[in-house]
A and B are shown apart, each in its own frame.
Chain A
């Protein structure tokens, strides 16, 4: 298990086709950092959801745009920072989903942000449309840190 801090970066065209590659990239790093299978899967799913939001909402499926996935690991945690420079939307305005209501309204989306918050220990959004939007996802090896 690496004792020091390590950094990895993937800058990749903003297309849904690349979601598998992004998941594989994050899975491998989380595995090398010593996270168990269940947590590796949670991390990869959270990153998939965040990148899907970038592709759909910030970049509006514009494949010329890039998604920047920056991963930092240390012996205690993994932190993934996903950055875009699109118009985006403010994820803080998204309410927790009411599945019954969503089903009644035949909605196809609206679950991603809630999933991210559920899967990760710390989630931090920075919203600055057209300049830089960032989501920071942190998972600790020993569970969430109490404040």
Chain B
């Protein structure tokens, strides 16, 4: 049974990936493929929405870390939204809030893209 899911929604200019379940070393490759697909399609304005993400380990954080430079070089970004306190704590422990924009809601992240 897959305990991790990624749902994709393409909006004009922005793609939202909604993560659900448990993101660990077993499921991180699934998330990695989803990001890789967006890069291949040259969709660089990405929002990762985590309302239903129950768990993240450093393997999941590694996916955020591994692609951000390439995406920013293409004038894109990975913006984060809808994090639970529990998931935020893990991002915070490793200093991610200094390098990634984190929003309460997907719409706020989308507005930030559209404002540019």
Contacts and interface: CB of A to CB of B under 8 A. Distances in A.
Interface of A: 16-17, 19-20, 23, 41, 45, 48-49, 52, 55-56, 97, 99-100, 102-112, 114-115, 118-119
Nearest to A41: B86
A16 B93 contact: no
A46 to B, nearest CB: 10
Main secondary structure of the interface of A (DSSP, over half): helix
Given A20-B3, A49-B57, A115-B58, A99 B66 contact: no
A20 B62 contact: no
A109 B58 CA distance: 7
Contacts of A114: 94
Contact of B62 (A16, A107, A119): A107
A106 B25 contact: no
A108 B63 contact: yes
A118 B94 CA distance: 9
Contacts of B93: 115, 118-119
29 contacts: A16-B24, A16-B25, A19-B25, A19-B26, A19-B57, A20-B22, A20-B24, A45-B55, A45-B57, A45-B90, A48-B24, A48-B25, A48-B57, A49-B58, A52-B59, A56-B25, A99-B96, A102-B65, A103-B65, A103-B69, A106-B66, A106-B69, A106-B70, A108-B66, A111-B58, A112-B59, A115-B57, A115-B90, A118-B93
